[in-house]
Structure 1
């Protein structure tokens, strides 16, 4: 696959074309601000063309044999694996991924791709009993049709692919709009991989444009029957409002304010190791990242001392350096936002126990102790390498903290009493929670999604089959029916 061509183009109906908007999107390396490329932005007319291409291709792709769709998805996996090193390079320089994070992202992509390859034959209907004599009920499962997919910048390839490959495997066509910060890894490379895999034209289309110009139009457009969005809760609420007015289905995976609870009987060292991963993986720029570390007061000093000691050993710097575990934030706006919340929280009484320096978009690990749940660093989604430690006395206090926010994406709980931990976990208002682990988990066969302000719907496995397909009831009256008193 030629990585030197068409990485600054739109992909519409099987052709690489320039966007028709006057604006240009500047794609930068978040670590050193090097300009990677300029992309002529997509306009509303480009969105129209992309949706038309998807609609024109929808009937033939929906009718493609299951083995044909599965073969394309598996070929996509092969092409991705063949070009893995080049793709990792792009994840590092465009998304600020460390080498570890880039490798993990490719691994997660491959897992969901291989799961999706089985979807064409797992998507089935039903024969159901009827309460009416002589009637047969059949329930057919059909593709949604055309989908609009909007993906974020933090795990750009993974969070695009999980919707894209599922949509394609189930017989849908789509238009993909990536985040402006990561157009290549979030969409353009995916289109190139599918082109190499032999996907028919019009099935997968890409528009790279500014959200302020085409975002609402992309969602409100009359063609897509479902909008899949991964990103912030405020944007997700707006998408839900627009889609709701048009009676479109939505699959929304939104923000999180995830708790990591350490009970009095926990193995402190194991809890610290898990917290380091869950907090600082990809600089904390993951929807599932730990936002609040809630530790029992009897072991809090021990936990904090060890957590600080180990966090100091994490190397922050150029993400292309294989020894670096903490890379840059995506842009300076994120740094400024976090620093403001950090200052306000310290002014409110939080204790700075690890003061991580700031170098441009690079933030070294920072740890605050004696945080309260109402401080900005706990109340807001951090999305950066700042750990907020809240101490608790009673388990009911920990539960109250866990459920205090309008988020419920992920969580974790450390205890030696597994069943007691499960009983506690089931009281936490979250879509996912992990005992004696950390919050950043994703497996292709389990339901992935949140509660409250963290989203609507579930991704992965058989659960996403329900999201990305529709059911049609067809009944057959085999015997004459008594319509008395009308007949």
Structure 2
């Protein structure tokens, strides 16, 4: 299997090839794998104008028509699953088994959206709460918010784009999308499939663009919602410049997992290794901080280090490869520097730590200082560290001692600690007997603090992409 020599952008539902300015590299070899058309400011403005024109036709589509579009996507993604997985493996450096898994999630996400597209319900609301409102009746429904702007990241270029595109189609919102420049192919193939449907002209534009040239995705007042997934610094800056439009942000984290004294250690080790090093740790809910009860700390640490050393790193096309390259050499070098800073300040390197270009070994540390970047910031790579604790309240305090709050995991058999964690952990989601890296695509997903605003998960994204419209009826005697 191989990629095409070049891929178009999509403007108002149509493929366009104004240039081949965007070189997409094979993240393992570093060689140019294909080229993609880039949108300039004029093209982006045209896409937004087309979305504005498409707002009414999209809103008028019947529920079954929107469902048919989404179901077509499900069917075509299944047919093109190998192609999608191969493209993802090349453009993101994601191991092929994980790439296939993301294609499966893409299909799940569109399937859920197809199901939810015919379930946009409202409510009948009694208004006669006092004598002055006797005879009044309220009814409300949800209506599409209008043209939307989507900016998706490099680490899950299929499924995180799907979490924006699928709910927009489900509710009837036209959109313009900027896929990550380093991994645009998944979104472009999504555009190929959408172009096969009967969506109104202008319903979608998929426009790879440079960050500097993409201000209109954020600032154009005709857009009614901006949904961004990416780094916190960029996300909060976009929100500050977004004007009056609604903003949904799914940002970063330095997720923690708690291994309590009663945990099944072998199970916790297996899941923690997955959570920390899956797709080279390039996940905003990747395990970064591993809190282990003092009674089991030594045993857990030794098992975890031994398991981590068995991970196979290398060519992401290999069926047994678990650790592939990071997205580029710059990111790998950054994280290597963070490891060096931590060890210089007293941290102990338990395994890994070596870098070769964009390849960074799966790395574990302990005794990492609170003032280090590894503790404070989002690593976003194959690095995690262990923290010893002795009391439950201490572990809760450590998890909360972060500017991030996306998800947390807890391995425990104590239902009272489960409920206490659900009450007290300042995060968007708590995962019991698994790592914070676990996500199912219909659940409400998002964070607090610097980790973002709003929730993804199809039904919850659909709510963000709609407005409530109220109807009040004064009933009179016949």
Change in Cα spacing, 1:250 to 1:451, as seen in structure 2 (3 Å) is same
**What is the TM-score with the length of structure 2 in the denominator?**
0.95
Q: How big is the shift at 1:19? A: 4.7
Find the residue that maps to 1:114 and give its secondary structure. Answer: helix
In the alignment, which residue of structure 2 is the partner of 1:232?
231
- Structure 2 residue aligned with 1:386: 383
List runs of 5+ in structure 2 lacking aligned partners. Answer: none
Match of 1:485 in 2: none
Q: What's 2:416 paired with?
A: 419
1:354 to partner: Cα distance? 0.4
- Is 2:313–2:361's contact at 8 Å kept on the other side of the alignment? yes
CA offsets, 1:359-380, max 9 Å, x none? 2111121111222333221211
Matched, 1:18 2:22: no
What stretches of structure 1 of length at least 5 have no aligned partner? Answer: 481-487
What root-mean-square deviation, in Å, do the aligned CA atoms of Structure 1 and Structure 2 show? 1.8
8 Å contact kept, 1:418–1:435: no
Matched, 1:39 2:36: yes
Distance in 1 separating the partners of 2:117 and 2:295: 53
Q: Deviations over 1:380-416 (max 9, x none)?
A: 1111111211112222221111001111101101112
User: In the aligned structure 2, how far is the partner of 1:19 from the partner of 1:175?
Assistant: 18
Deviates most, 351-360 or 274-283: 351-360
Q: Distance in 1 between matches of 2:269 and 2:415?
A: 18
- Pair 272,425 (structure 1): closer, same or farther in 2 beyond 3 Å: farther
The number of aligned residues is 473
User: What SS is found at the alignment partner of 1:317?
Assistant: coil
Q: 1:395 aligns with which of 380, 385, 392?
A: 392
Q: Which residue of 2 aligns with 1:325?
A: 322
Q: Is 1:477 the counterpart of 2:474 in the alignment?
A: yes
Cα offset for 1:135?
2.1
Alignment partner, residue 51 of structure 1: 48
1:445-469: CA deviation from partner (whole Å, max 9, x where unpaired): 3211111111111111432232111
Q: CA deviation at 1:114?
A: 1.0
Alpha-carbon distance in structure 1 between the residues aligned to 2:5 and 2:170: 25
1:242 aligns with 2:241: yes
User: What is residue 134 of structure 1 aligned with on the other side?
Assistant: 135
Q: CA deviation at 1:41?
A: 2.4
Q: CA deviation at 1:4?
A: 6.7
Q: TM-score, normalised by structure 1?
A: 0.93
Q: 1:264 aligns with which of 256, 261, 266?
A: 261
Residue 40 of structure 1: CA displacement? Answer: 4.1
Indicate the larger mover: 87-96 or 467-476.
467-476
Is structure 2 residue 65 aligned with structure 1 residue 64? no
Which residue of the partner structure matches residue 148 of structure 1?
149
Shift of 1:146: 0.5
Residue 213 of structure 2 corresponds to 213
Match of 2:442 in 1: 445
Q: Secondary structure at the match of 1:211?
A: coil
Contact 1:79 1:196 in 2 (8 A): no
Deviation at 1:121, TM superposition (A): 1.7
Q: Secondary structure of the residue that 1:27 maps to in structure 2?
A: strand
By how many angstroms is 1:35 displaced? 0.2
Name which of structure 1's ranges 131-140 and 51-60 shifts more when overlaid on structure 2.
131-140
Pair 1:459-2:456 in alignment: yes
1:369 aligns to what?
366
2:186 corresponds to 1:189: no
**Is the CA contact (8 Å cut-off) linking 1:258 and 1:410 kept in structure 2?**
yes
Q: More deviation in 2-11 or 80-89?
A: 2-11
Q: CA deviation at 1:217?
A: 2.4
**How far 1:166 moved relative to its partner?**
0.7
Shift of 1:5: 6.4
CA distance in 2, matches of 1:322, 1:199: 38
Task: Quote the offset at 1:301 in angstroms.
Answer: 1.2
